[in-house]
Amino acid sequence: MASSTSCLNLFVFSFLSVLLITKSQISGSVNGVVFPVTRDLSTGQYVAEIRLGDSYEPVNLVVDLSGTLLWFDCSSGHISTSRSLISGSSSGCLKAKAGNDRVSSRGDQNGDCDLLVRNGVVGITARGELATD
């Protein structure tokens, strides 16, 4: 069992590394980070624990293995005064939407970057906002 878990972790790490290298070559600049990823046995989703915001408390981000985004459940109670929403007309918003058929835009380009995201594991489509913290 430990061998299959180690093999899976190595595969996920390798996949994310290749994805980050490929993305950086396409964009012409290096924008990436490496962090440990684990599988949540209750949901089957892959998560990465990071310390986020001005409170620097640990939060779990869901790693979308078929996409380029990390997701955080805002209803989890984490509050950060350093969080700021990304504009719908920003390059970050346009990159988040580009080439991802599982993410579609909502709203106009003058507002915040709203996204509709489908979580295939739990079968839910939800509205999300692109933000920095």
State the pLDDT confidence band at 45, using cuts at 50, 70 and 90.
confident
Q: Which residue segments constitute the domains of the chain, with CATH numbers given? A: 35-132 (2.40.70.10)
* Separation between Cα atoms, residue 40 and residue 61, nearest integer Å: 11
**pLDDT given at position 132:** 81
> pLDDT tens for residues 22-36?
444 444 555 667 778
pLDDT tens string 80-99: 788 888 888 888 888 777 75
Q: Assign 3-class secondary structure to 1-15.
A: CHHHHHHHHHHHHHH
Average pLDDT, the chain: 69
Asked if 44 and 65 touch (Cβ cutoff 8 Å), the reply is no
Q: Is residue 91 within a helix (H) or strand (E), and if so which, with residue range?
A: helix 91-97
**Mean pLDDT of the 48-52 span:** 81
Instruction: 102-110: list long-range contacts, CB under 8 Å, 24+ apart.
Output: 102/64, 102/66, 102/67, 103/67, 103/69
Predicted TM-score of the model (pTM): 0.53
